[in-house]
Structure formats: structure tokens, C-alpha cells
Amino acid sequence: MIYNYHMYQCNNCGQTSPQEVGKCFNCDEWNSFEIVKENTRNGISKNILPEVEQLNKIQVDKCERFSAQISEIDRVLGGGMILGSSILIGGEPGIGKSTLALQLSHLAKEDFKVLYISGEESLKQIKMRADRLKVNSDELFVLSDNSLDSIENQVRSIRPKLLIVDSIHTIESKNVESFPGSVSQLKICAQDLSSLSKELNFTLILVAHITKEGTIAGPKLLEHLVDTVLYFEKVDSDDLRILRTSKNRFGATDEIGIFKMKDTGLDEVKDPAGLFITKDQKSYSGSIISSSHEGTRPILLEIQSLVSKPTQSFGKRYVNGIDFNRAVMLVAILEKHYNIRLSDKDIFISLTNGIKAKDTSVDLGVIASIISSFENIAIPSTTAFMGEVGLSGEIKKIANIDKRVSEISRLGFDSCVIPSDSEKNISKKFKGLKIISIRNIKELKSFF
């Protein structure tokens, strides 16, 4: 029996419905449903069994992972790119996604062809950018087209080892009756290109736009289809860029790569440990240095707090760089276990240079920063604080303490405040660095 049917799909979140609705019941977007091309299905299913193999008998080529020749990219990807994998790079307009993608084209060489496809620029515009970035090779091929069929034909003809599509939101398939960038187009184009990369064993890089909320534009399915998702972020400093991993099937997540934007393109920052702290040796009340472990390396951060009289009848909290709910929790812990009243104060907490930290080891630094501002007493800028704070005010041990303390010592700090439980994990003594271990936030009173 053969039957036809229509389906409607939200072009904002991908939710489907058998009938058209005015408001999406998943994302609350109005007038966002569009018809998905009519499908014809056969009511009698054909059971086709795929080939089954024993896991132990599958041969894996150890050389399938190759270097991007940019150490920060290799770090973020877990050691390099993998043939047959797909990588999604998202970021706001003008942040440098296309620059990064074109710089990766420098991998083109004998027996390693690279195909760069742009749906946004002409061939002359691509050539001008390539000249500025000093990217040139006889094995680098460029195409200005947005037709999925045309792209697939060129890929089968050229057989590249690396395919870059800038951007996936401009590509369209003639088999889908909707505009480029719609949910159905993104789904089909990403699926086909990802399947093609596995069939022909090449690495696929898809450049993507992001929404105003900072997530990849289109259905969440787009992120599920690929092997790796990278977000390109801009910090307050105009020239600094952070490439962050949110998904990686072949490596660690939450790894970051740091770059500087220059006229000649993106330069990697190989030693960012002290990049986000003020080089001024003066000490200020409310300013504390802490350490966050991002992926496989420690980065020192400057935490600034300001405790002031409330602008309204009650105190408010303003937080930038750390989780708001965690900051509110730390303030509550301070009130309960350090015996200072903060409910009638406005509290501003910020990480300088626009950096964001998810690592809970900055808790102790945040608390010390608030106390410093409240008491109006400056802590020496050569002292660093690190440790997770529990609800009872106890300081919990943190991971990778050896690496953190080593970086603090290397950058010339005089002392470091750490959890008592972590002191035994420090493998050696660092010349000129005094280690101060504490068990509870009440012990911070010795600094004030």
C-alpha cells in the first residue's frame, strides 16, 4: 500500500507536527512552521540487514589522525584531525571563522588535496583573503557555489583529504522545498556531507552561524550529526579569540585554544597562563588572582569584586564570567560561615578581560575577593587563591594542583593559598613560593 502525507516543521527548533500550527509548542516561536516536502513511503517494509563484524577484527589505521600544523587546533581536537570525521565551527559574525577555516587550507600539499567551498564569497574575494593570509598551494582548490549536488560532484571528482564548507547555512539541496539555512535544508545538507566524508574518508569542516543566544543556528540535530563542535569566542580584548570544544568524540571536551587576531590572520598563543591577569604589581582591594584549569592546562585569572551600598531597598548581585547561581551561593556561604552581612549590599563580581570560568576551583578566589572589597583591604597581587568551597564553608581539594602551583611559581608569585587536602598532592617544593593550606573560609581572617 502506498500513501502520501505532509509534515510541518518549525524552522527555529526543528519540532515537527502533522498539521500546521501558529505557535510552536516546543520553542514558543510564532508562525515558524513550514511544510516539509511530501514524502512517499511504502507500507510494506523491506528488511535489509547491514553487515555485522566482530569488534576485535576491525582494523584501524594508526595514521588516520593528522596534525593541523597549528598546535592550538591540535590541542582542541585532542591531537589533530581524523579522516572521516566532521567538525562544526560556530561563532558570531566577524569573529574570524572564515579566517580560521582558510588558514587550515595551508595543509594542502602533494597527496593531500584541500577543497574550500564558499557560499558567501566570490572566487576573487577568496583569492584576496588567501593572499593576505599567505595561503597558496597547487593542491588547494576553491569553489564558489551553494548547490549540494554541485559540491558532491566536485568532491567525488577531486577527492580531497580536507573539505571546508563556509558556511553550511548557505548550502541548499534541490530535493528540499525551502530556503537555505532552514531546518530541513540544514538537516539534509549536513547529513549528506557527513555521510560523504565517511564514504570517501576525508575530514569535513562546516562553518556555522550562531543565534543571538550564542548557540549554533538551526536544529540541535546539526550538532548531533557531527563528531566535534567548536565555538569561537571573543574576549573583551579586541584581538584575543578563544576556540572552545563543547563536543568531541575523539578527545576531551571543554579544551580551549587561544589566538590573537592580526592583519595577517590568527596567531596562536602557546603560553596563555598569565594572559588574563593585570601585569601591574600594585594591589587593590577586591582584586584576587586565582587559577582555572581549562582542558589540559592551567590559566591564571583576575577576579574583581565590589561591595557597595544598595541602589534600592535590597541588595542585588551582578556577575560576569562565572555562573550566576554559584556566585549567589558563595555569597550565602560567606554570610553564614564568615559572619558578615551582605544581604543589604550590592555585590559586583567580574573576571577581567572577558574570560569565562566553569572551574569551581575559583570559588576561594571569589570569596577572598568579596571579603577584600567588604573590608577595603588589599591582598598582595603576588598571592594566588584556589579551592572549591562547600556549603559548610570547607575548602575542598581540587584536581591538577601540581600543574596549577607550578604555573603560579613560574610566573613569579610569592605565595599560594590552597586546600589542605590538596597539599599532599604537590610532588615537589617550588623555590621562592610559600604554600599556605587552609581547611575553612574562617581561616581567611588571617589575611584581613
pLDDT digits (tens, 9 = 90+) for 4-42: 556 787 777 777 787 788 888 887 888 877 776 544 444
In a domain, residue 57? The reply is no
Report, in angstroms and rounded to the nearest whole number, the Rg of the chain calculated over CA atoms: 26
In a domain, residue 320? The reply is yes
- Cα–Cα distance measured from residue 209 to residue 184, given in angstroms and rounded to the nearest whole number: 16
> Do residues 168 and 236 share a domain?
yes
In a domain, residue 431? The reply is yes
> Do residues 148 and 73 share a domain?
yes
In a domain, residue 296? The reply is yes
Give the pLDDT of residue 70. 93
> Do residues 299 and 366 share a domain?
yes
In a domain, residue 136? The reply is yes
> Do residues 16 and 76 share a domain?
no
Pick 383 or 313 by higher pLDDT.
383
> Do residues 160 and 187 share a domain?
yes
pTM of structure: 0.79
**Could you tell me the pLDDT band of residue 324, with boundaries at 50, 70 and 90?**
very high
Whether residue 333 is predicted with pLDDT greater than 70 in this model: the reply is: yes
- Cα–Cα distance measured from residue 391 to residue 389, given in angstroms and rounded to the nearest whole number: 7
Most confident of 55-59, 190-194, 424-428: 190-194
Q: Please provide the average confidence, as pLDDT, over all residues in the chain.
A: 88
Give the pLDDT of residue 281. 67
Whether residue 45 is predicted with pLDDT greater than 80 in this model: the reply is: no
> Do residues 120 and 189 share a domain?
yes
Whether residue 405 is predicted with pLDDT greater than 60 in this model: the reply is: yes
> Do residues 242 and 299 share a domain?
no
Whether residue 43 is predicted with pLDDT greater than 50 in this model: the reply is: no
Report the candidate in 252, 151, 126, 177 with the shortest Cα–Cα distance to residue 6. 177
- What's the CATH code of the domain at 376? 3.30.230.10
> Do residues 35 and 68 share a domain?
no
Report the candidate in 307, 304, 306, 305 with the shortest Cα–Cα distance to residue 345. 307
In a domain, residue 258? The reply is yes
Inter-CA distances, 195 with 202, 229, 346, Å: 10, 17, 54
Whether residue 71 is predicted with pLDDT greater than 60 in this model: the reply is: yes
- Percent of the residues in the chain that have a pLDDT greater than 90, as a whole number: 60
Give the pLDDT of residue 175. 86
> Do residues 293 and 264 share a domain?
no
Please state the domain count of the chain. Answer: 3
pLDDT digits (tens, 9 = 90+) for 241-269: 999 999 999 888 878 899 999 988 999 98
Mean pLDDT to the nearest integer, 103-129: 93
Inter-CA distances, 160 with 108, 163, 333, Å: 9, 6, 57
Q: Exposure pattern of 312-348 as b/e (b: 16+ CB <10 Å)? A: eeebeeebbbbeeebbeebbebbeebbeeebeebbbb
**Could you tell me the pLDDT band of residue 238, with boundaries at 50, 70 and 90?**
low
Inter-CA distances, 282 with 19, 183, 308, 409, Å: 66, 53, 22, 19
In a domain, residue 52? The reply is no
Least confident span in 80-84, 179-183, 259-263: 179-183
Least confident span in 114-123, 207-216, 315-324, 362-371: 207-216
> Do residues 420 and 357 share a domain?
yes
- Cα–Cα distance measured from residue 373 to residue 376, given in angstroms and rounded to the nearest whole number: 5
> Do residues 164 and 296 share a domain?
no
Range of the domain at 258: 64-268
- Cα–Cα distance measured from residue 388 to residue 400, given in angstroms and rounded to the nearest whole number: 13
Q: Which amino acid is at 368?
A: A
In a domain, residue 38? The reply is yes
> Do residues 260 and 314 share a domain?
no
Mean pLDDT to the nearest integer, 59-85: 87
